[in-house]
A and B are shown apart, each in its own frame.
Chain A
Amino acid sequence: MSNAAVTAAASSRAAAAGKSALTRLGEAFVGRLVIIIPYLWLVFFFLIPFVIVFKISLSQTAIAIPPYTPVLGFGDGLSGFFAQLKQLSMDNYTWLTQDALYVNAYVTSVIVAAISTVLTLLVGYPIAYGMARAPATLRPILLMLVILPFWTSFLIRVYAWIGILKPEGLLNQLLLATGVISQPLIILNTYTAIFIGIVYSYLPFMVLPLYSALEKMDYSLIEAAKDLGCPPTSAFWKITFPLSLPGVIAGCLLVFIPAVGEFVIPDLLGGSQTLMIGKTLWNEFFANRDWPVSSAVAVILLLLLIVPIMLFQRAQARAQEQDR
């Protein structure tokens, strides 16, 4: 074969390859479009707002509109922009570490959220188990009942708990009338009230993933365990519980993550005696009008929650792999 022929063949091959690569690129683009849309959503409604909040957290508070400085802009040209950029600092973050209030609020929030999550699991597991073992005809109704509270506003439902928990509320009246107690219990404006509020509000988020894990479990596995000499309680811990673990993890994270930053429940039920980061942030923002510090609080909270969120993602991915 002559040199010319080799080159020609090579170039035609290259052309063919190039063309197919181009069409492949086009196909890939159409395929990716479906994924691009949610990504765009995240960029516009999560990433950009986050960048704005982060920028504010690096600013200084000021009596102005907006109440911080510098306000980045190109009014003074590019050099002016860089000059403004130089004014940004980490001062607010150092402030957060210096005032024990913030550290306490973070730690308390994580502890309150963790205890609430465990309580929700303890309440939710039997409910989910009962639902999964209920006759198949009854299950949709039970599922409906779990979701039913969502039909009423979350705020109103939390308000309703004030009526139940306050010293002269329904619970105390009932306990006093039946003679269980002689003095009204002080529940409202304590951490107990926050636990009750979180367990009540987030129960469906615990029950639903647990239910879906327990419902698809084959009951003959329990029979097989019993058949092999395993008493019912032991069968629960050796078979049922390990198999429901993906549901347990999902449920716990779905409760824990929002509970850490919860504002409404501590504000309405916890009163002024309790300290949680959601409320601190609110006060900083609306009472103090200190946007930069409250932005710093929000950024730290987000960083704190990224760990459990990543754990949740990992657990989800693993559960999906198991299903396959």
Chain B
Amino acid sequence: MKSLGSIRRDFAPWNDPNAKPYIQFDKVTKKFGDFTAVNNLSLTIFEREFFALLGASGCGKSTLLRMLAGFEEPTAGRILLDGQDLRGIPPYRRPVNMMFQSYALFPHMTVENNIAFGLKQDGMPKPDIAARVGEMLKLVKLEQFAKRKPHQLSGGQRQRVALARSVAKRPKVLLLDEPLGALDKKLREETQFELMDLQQSLGLTFVVVTHDQEEAMTMADRIAIIDKGEVMQVATPAEVYEAPGSRFVAGFVGNVNMFEGKIAHGEAGAASIDAGNGITIRTENAGDAATGAAVAFAIRPEKIRISSKKPAGAVNAIEGEVYDIAYLGDMTVYHVRLDDGHVVRASTMNAARITEDPLSWNDRAWVSFRPDAGVVLTR
């Protein structure tokens, strides 16, 4: 079975037409004065899903999360949780909990009391609270820090306390606002996997807001890419990367080479694109783009081969000059200036330590790719 990306997902309720949506944003609009933060947005999230809202700062993703938590009310539209309209329900009565970007730990309470805070609000019996707090401390490996105050902890430890506090009440949905934003890179990567494990073991629905595409790609089952208060695409990380729905998504997630042109001749998905200056690109992924339509051809750098001689039998091969090389260890990135001035980025995995035919700056080189390597974007 063929699949986009290199993983197979068994958990995919979004492909099941009978699956019951868990969280629904139904034509939600949120305005702050004249500014429209969220514009007529609809979105469906399923139970036990790890869902990421990805976008640049100010795109409205945090507003979506805050509306779900109850800190903001939509100007128009409905938000449903497990079939229940959330309008008018204050944050302290919603079965969702949030992990704040700033962690928002109560500075005058110990780690223990921070975690127990929500449980006490629910009037849980004391022995049960103690048991649950112990369980949570164990989960985030902070047993020996129970009596400390937040200011006596490191950034990573605080993040764990915030996490433990927000899952202690076993909410139906956990909302995470840039949960790893304040951690350094190495800790962030470790914590990404821990969050995924936690979500698996607790069986909760996670909605995470992030501006870090790598974070979203790593953790999420599906990603919604948000721009100017609108959903640009909702898809699995592999789909977002390999089959972006628009120029914006292709450019937002990962690196991409974009050729603007017109469909010169197309039938049944295959087409040749006239990209100007004598460059013609043959592709099998034209979809239903009609002949003459203005399109963009998008291709990822790692799907472009670079060689000093024209590869025999290549369907797409364009000549240019190497003008920049970046050696990153695991791969090498070449910037090739085509003869029409267009710069193409091509990356090669350094699968072997020794390369037979190395390229240098200002070398003539050919960039080539297979007809199924790129996608045609009409939007």
Partner of A229 from B102, B105, B169 at Cβ < 8 Å: B169
Fill in one digit per residue for B103-125: 1 if any A CB lies within 8 Å of its CB, else 0. 01111100000000110011000
> Which of B71, B91, B102, B165 is most buried by chain A, counting CB atoms within 10 A of its CB?
B91
Interface residues of B in 320-347 (CB under 8 A from A): none
> Is the CB of B69 closer than 8 A to any CB of chain A?
yes
Fill in one digit per residue for B60-98: 1 if any A CB lies within 8 Å of its CB, else 0. 000000000111000000000000000000111100111
| Contact surface of B with A, Cβ cutoff 8 Å | 69-71, 90-93, 96-98, 100, 102, 104-108, 117-118, 121-122, 151, 165-166, 169
- Let me know if A226 and B92 touch, CB within 8 A: yes
- Let me know if A239 and B106 touch, CB within 8 A: yes
B residues near A229, Cβ cutoff 8 Å: 92-93, 118, 121-122, 169
- Let me know if A227 and B107 touch, CB within 8 A: no
Interface of chain A, main secondary structure: helix
> Is the CB of A223 closer than 8 A to any CB of chain B?
yes
Q: A229-B118, A230-B121 are in contact. Are A224 and B92 (CB under 8 A)?
A: no
> Which of B70, B96, B121, B122 is most buried by chain A, counting CB atoms within 10 A of its CB?
B121
> Is the CB of A243 closer than 8 A to any CB of chain B?
yes
- Let me know if A228 and B117 touch, CB within 8 A: yes
How far apart sit A224 and B98, CA to CA, in the bound complex (Å)? 7
> Is the CB of A221 closer than 8 A to any CB of chain B?
yes
How far apart sit A311 and B117, CA to CA, in the bound complex (Å)? 31
Question: How far apart are B101's CB and chain A's nearest CB, in angstroms?
Answer: 8
Interface magnitude class on chain A: 10 to 19
B residues near A239, Cβ cutoff 8 Å: 106
- Let me know if B117 and A225 touch, CB within 8 A: yes
Partner of B102 from A220, A230, A243, A322 at Cβ < 8 Å: A220
Question: How far apart are A216's CB and chain B's nearest CB, in angstroms?
Answer: 11
- Let me know if B118 and A223 touch, CB within 8 A: no
A residues near B70, Cβ cutoff 8 Å: 226-227
- Let me know if A220 and B100 touch, CB within 8 A: yes
- Let me know if A223 and B100 touch, CB within 8 A: yes
- Let me know if A228 and B118 touch, CB within 8 A: yes
Fill in one digit per residue for A100-122: 1 if any B CB lies within 8 Å of its CB, else 0. 00000000000000000000000
B residues near A218, Cβ cutoff 8 Å: 102, 104
- Let me know if A221 and B121 touch, CB within 8 A: no
A residues near B98, Cβ cutoff 8 Å: 223-224, 227
> Is the CB of A80 closer than 8 A to any CB of chain B?
no
